[in-house]
Amino acid sequence: MQHPAVPDLSHTHTRPIHWVATATALAAVVALSSVLQPDAATAAQTPGAEPKNAPAHNAPPDPAAVAFPLECGPVKAVVQKKATGDLDGDGRPETVAVVHCDAPMGTPPDGVYVLTRGTDDAKPRVVATLVDPADRRTATVLAVRGGEVHATLLGYSSADVPSCCPDVTDDVKWQWENGAFVRDTPSQARTV
């Protein structure tokens, strides 16, 4: 079998001098690009735009920074759930927190609290109690939707029902109206 005639292309064979020339050319391009840098970019701020490091008072209040009105004795208060949203229409978010004492046994009752920040400072504080722990309720669901607080609460039909076994479920919501949170029960309490 004959091989087709291929011309001798001596220019296609690499020699050490080719590599030296390529390396020198590449080094020259890199050196030149580091000398010829573009000017620093400047951008105009859009009026009313907030910088990325906006003041802390625009962030939702952190429940970890609050002392809740809960008597827990030797154990600590624990935040079980939280939800955030603008509840009063002022453009700043509030935080709703479900909190109970970290009891070693049983199911301690929950408190549901609304947290906000003052206009002068960034320190969060409790401004409303939606569910008092004395009511012996447990919040299983918590959400903020459309400026309303929605929760599912478990409770007891009478003082005779053992604490282990809540027998009433309420789906409730609260809405800010005329300077206070007003509770609405969209569905009737149901026995579980």
Name every residue whose Cβ is closer than 8 Å to that of residue 10 and which is 6 or more positions away in sequence.
none
Question: If the chain, 192 residues long, is cut into consecutive pieces of 10 residues, what is the mean pLDDT of each piece?
Answer: 47 52 50 47 40 59 92 93 95 95 86 87 88 94 96 93 89 94 72 52
pTM: 0.67
Cα 36 to chain centroid, rounded: 44
pLDDT at 46: 39
**Which residue type is seen at 160?**
D
Predicted local distance difference test score (pLDDT) of residue 17 = 60
Report the number of secondary-structure helices (H) and strands (E) in the chain.
1, 9
| C-alpha Rg value of the chain to the nearest Å | 33
Structure confidence at residue 58 (pLDDT)? 77
